[in-house]
Amino acid sequence: MADYKVQFEVFEGPLDLLLYLVKKEEVDIYEVNLTKVAREFIEYVELMREFDLEVAGEFLVMASTLLHIKSRDLLPADLQAVDEDGEEGEDPRWELIRKLVEYKKFKDAAERLEFIEHAQENVYPRLPVAVAPDPQPAPARITASLFDLLGAVNEVLRRFQTREAREIYAEQWTVGGKIADIRERLAGSAQLRFGDLFAAAGSREEVVATFLAILELVRLRQLDLIQEDAFGDISLCRSAEFEWEAGPATAAVMES
């Protein structure tokens, strides 16, 4: 009994059950022995009545139709013909098969729809993110070229060119130290002028160390160099790509 119950839940209605019984016969829907199917159908309905009377209502109508067909089949053929002519002229057998064929068509169509529905879940439309118009267009920023940079550092170095006398002293300025210095200064202000960085420089070595520190920070993409006008002053600003609060990990990189 329990097995039957599970099966009932699969059937959407009497036509569904009927279709299942016809399929079980493994014959063409037009050649199925409706009398035999009728018996099986009624057996199912008998079981269903024990479980769910409400559902059985529609099934009972079908059961009575099947019984009607069965009763006609029991009549001798000549009697049947007379009977048919006398009545509405509609063979309930044909009527039922026609309904069954139509129902099957839509049951199949529903399966195809289901297939499409599932396939559709794997279809991703291309919906690019909106290109939001910039509300405040930034001033035209020209990215400084390497030559602009060399020109700028030469400008600074020129200050020290006149010194002829040479001293030998311990290396006071390291690139790592200058990186830390630049980072610290940029933490305070968003932008630094290139010239200002060298304003306090007291030697070529310090200028060179500072310059190398800038190049290294640019290479690490922590720093952007910007020139607002062609041949204008170069400014340093924090790169948008880099999280500046990340700590002084860069000093170590420099030693290589």
Partner 1 sequence: MELKHILEALLFSAQKPLTPGELQALLVAANEASPNPFGDAKARDIVAALETLSQEHEAGGRTYRLVCVAGAWQFASQPEYGLWIRALVGQKPRPARLSKPALETLAIIAYRQPLTRAEIEQIRGVGIDGVMQTLMERELVEVAGRAEAPGRPPTYGTTKLFLEHFGLRALDDLPDASELRRIPLEKPREPVTSGQDTTTEAPAQATLEEVLQSEPSATPAPTP
Which residues form the interface with partner 1 (CB under 8 A)?
12-16, 28-31, 34, 58, 62, 73, 77-78, 80-81, 84-85, 89-91, 93-95, 97-99, 101-103, 105-107, 109-114, 116-128, 130-131
Residue 221: left (phi > 0), alpha (psi -120 to 50), or beta? left
Which two structure tokens, joined as six digits, stand for 223?
């720093």
Torsion on CA atoms 201, 204, 209, 213, rounded to nearest 10:
70
Give the Å distances, CA to CA, from 3 to 38, 47, 48, 50, 226: 21, 11, 12, 14, 78
Q: How far is the CB of 102 from partner 1 (least distance, A)?
A: 6
Q: Is residue 163 within a helix (H) or strand (E), and if so which, with residue range?
A: none
Distance CA 205, CA 68 (A): 111
Q: Of the two residues 109 and 246, which places its CB atom closer to partner 1 in the complex?
A: 109
Distance CA 171, CA 173 (A): 6
CB-based contacts of 228, cutoff 8 Å, min separation 6: 139, 140, 141, 142, 235
Q: Of the two residues 31 and 134, which places its CB atom closer to partner 1 in the complex?
A: 31
Q: How far is the CB of 110 from partner 1 (least distance, A)?
A: 4
Q: How far is the CB of 243 from partner 1 (least distance, A)?
A: 24
Dihedral of alpha carbons 16, 18, 23, 27, sign: negative
Q: φ and ψ at 223, to 5 degrees?
A: -135, 140
Distance CA 84, CA 150 (A): 109
